[in-house]
Chains A and B, each alone.
Chain A
Amino acid sequence: MAVVEIRQLYKAFGEVNAVNDVNLTIQEGEFLVLLGPSGSGKTSLLRMIAGLEKPTGGEIRIGGVVVNELPPRARKIAMVFQSYALYPHMTVYNNIAFPLRSVGMDRINIQTRVERAAKMFNIYHLLQRKPRQLSGGERQRVALARAVVREPDVFLLDEPLSNLDAKLRALARDELKQFQRQIGVTTVYVTHDQVEAMGMGDRVVVMNYGRVQQIGTPQALYRAPANTFVATFLGSPPMNLVEQDNCIIGFHPEHFLPKGIDQHMQSPITIPFEVTRVEYLGSERFLYGYVQGVGERTRVVSNIPSLVQLAIEAGRTYDFVADLHDLSYFDKMSGDRIAPVRLQIAQAAGV
């Protein structure tokens, strides 16, 4: 277990700045998620922590020691690749034992440890199989078992669930998180899936174009996104953004509700909402349409829990409300979060 510190880290591949001035401290035992779209530099950052890629500039410390010049094997890390990278020519047993053999552990100790890890991940019955005889979920467990068996200081995972089907993924997410709590090892988890990030991370680092956009707890990111990129990357559907003068106003779909169910709101504002399409998704209802009371006429989404029985039809305009306290404000030029501005709400009389 160790603190990982990253200072002014850069990585350039030719013209591309894959990682651009990243500063980050990962606390002991923390589950930190790197979240960003494909190509945002997550893998590059993780690989630099692992020692598989040399930084162009900056410093990485693990447990207080600068590791820039250390090869992967000297960093006391374990990594799970997106492909799981199981050794195809070895049995599951030998795959898990492989890291232990590198440190010259004796046979009996190896066996004890491998069997313990295999039991922990429910793959004891697979120990004599070859990787190609395993399903995707089983491979993922073998990769995890191999990663923990050496009791690393830092655990690095690159999209470990992206090769599983949706059903298995939800289950694996839960197991992985529980398991990390149990052993309490510092973990860096890379994903492009915001649901995974929000659900698993103690803190989430949102990246784009190699730069850190925001670091914070899932709640903090959700409540107060640092810029429009973070605002539109999180949530499904993401935050609605409406332009007004040289400022952008943001509100979450689930904070934009029909008038009448706004009892909990402290300072509700009323905005007319022209509904064009209704989507029923069981636990919730998505309403697509336009607002034009605030700023310009803009396409937005409202997410109403199915508890609200109110009948709403496409093609009509309703009075909706949002809480002033739930609004976010961004600068139109930079996209960065700014202090609240005065809203001009025109009660669109003609609609």
Chain B
Amino acid sequence: MIRKAGQTGLTYFLITLFILFTAFPFYWMLITTFKNDNELYRNREANPLVFNQAPTLDNLRLLFNNTNYQTFVENSLKVGIAVVVITVLLAVPASYSLARLAGAWGERLGIMIFMVYLIPPTLLFIPMSQIVSFLGLRDSLWSLIVIYPTFTVPFCTWLLMGFMKSIPVDVEEQAMVDGYSRFGAILRVVFPLALPGILTVVVFAFTLTTHEFIYALAFITTSSQKVISTGVTSELIRGDVFFWQAIMGAGLLVAIPVALVYNLFLDRFIAGFTMGAVTGK
């Protein structure tokens, strides 16, 4: 009994440590957002973890009134949604075909496709920038909408392959015997069963897109076309002056909704990853 209680205590202790560790950045961002310059920069002796002076909304005012923050958010949303749509449209049929129709080669192709994802963007952005220029998409959100699927599609295809493989072939064939074409069977049986995977891919492609930095920095220089990751850093870091409170606020406002959605899908995420891993047998 005592040992058990001790174990439970230890477990809770460790969990508390982890929670502090993961929640601390959010907390730090939150209080920093509302601190005035005087407190943040000059008051060195005071405890930095709490407010020592009255909190202020000035920093958020700066963020919303003196920068294009709302435009950045809108741009990020536009790019994110467009990339998610493209990714789903390509990855769903691709993963189905690789999982079901391509036999032993499907497996190898799937792994090769995944490899593409591992090539770092720092290597790819030079050739990519030529393509973007060639397409005349410089300084346009479209450049990102064209480029981002080059890494979301391979990764999401690989991820979805695991989900697709976990759907029994029998069930699909049964639908074909029960009076449907292959496409009808896919629509009525495979898609509904792959839905957790598709949702995972939606969330994943979206977050992958919104936190991307290098391509966004390389291809877009006009402020009104920037996305959050580049817009915030370029407009709130002027020379060597960092507007820390506004930067924190900008980050927090987009991080919280994403974190909530992630949490909602966490289990399925993990299922998706491990399924992908198991198929590599």
Contacts and interface: CB of A to CB of B under 8 A. Distances in A.
Interface stretch (B34-42, B172-180, B251-259, B260-268): B172-180
A25 to B, nearest CB: 22
Interface stretch (A96-104, A200-208, A294-302): A96-104
B175 A98 contact: yes
Contacts of A85: 168, 170-171, 173-174
Contact of B177 (A50, A86, A88, A103): A50
Contacts of B180: 73, 102
Contact of A88 (B179, B188, B193): B193
Contacts of B184: 102
B168 A83 contact: yes
A81 B174 contact: yes
Contacts of A51: 176-177
A51 B188 CA distance: 20
Contacts of B171: 85-88
A79 B174 contact: yes
B177 A78 contact: yes
A83 B192 contact: no
A150 B192 CA distance: 23
B173 A81 contact: yes
B189 interface: yes
Interface string B110-137: 0000000000000000000000000000
A79 B193 contact: no
Contacts of A89: 189, 192-193
Task: Specify the main secondary structure of chain B where it touches its partner.
Answer: helix
Contacts of B178: 73, 78, 98-99, 102, 146, 150
B181 interface: yes
Nearest to A79: B177
A103 B179 contact: yes
Nearest to B191: A89
A71 interface: yes
Contacts of A99: 178-179
Nearest to B167: A88
Interface in B146-188: 168, 170-171, 173-182, 184, 188
Contact of B173 (A52, A103, A146, A150): A52
Contacts of A98: 175, 178, 188
A73 B168 CA distance: 19
Nearest to B176: A72
A107 B181 CA distance: 22
Contacts of A87: 171, 174-175, 189
A77 interface: yes
Which of the listed residues B173, B176, B177, B181 has the most CB atoms from chain A within 10 Å of its own CB? Answer: B177
Nearest to B171: A85
Given A85-B168, A87-B189, A73 B173 contact: no
Contacts of A72: 173, 176-177
Interface in A239-260: none
Tell me which of A51, A73, A86 has the highest count of chain B C-beta atoms within 10 A of its own C-beta. A73
Interface in A148-177: 150
B111 to A, nearest CB: 23
B164 to A, nearest CB: 15
Contacts of B170: 81, 83, 85
A279 B177 CA distance: 48
Contacts of B177: 50-52, 72-73, 77-79
A83 B181 CA distance: 21
26 contacts: A50-B177, A52-B177, A71-B176, A73-B176, A73-B179, A73-B180, A77-B177, A81-B170, A81-B173, A83-B168, A83-B170, A85-B168, A85-B170, A85-B171, A86-B171, A87-B175, A88-B193, A89-B189, A89-B193, A98-B188, A99-B178, A99-B179, A102-B179, A102-B180, A146-B178, A150-B178
Given A50-B177, A51-B177, A102-B179, 7 more contacts: A52-B173, A52-B176, A78-B178, A79-B174, A85-B174, A99-B178, A150-B179
Interface of B: 168, 170-171, 173-182, 184, 188-189, 192-193
Interface of A: 50-52, 71-73, 77-79, 81, 83, 85-89, 98-99, 102-103, 146, 150
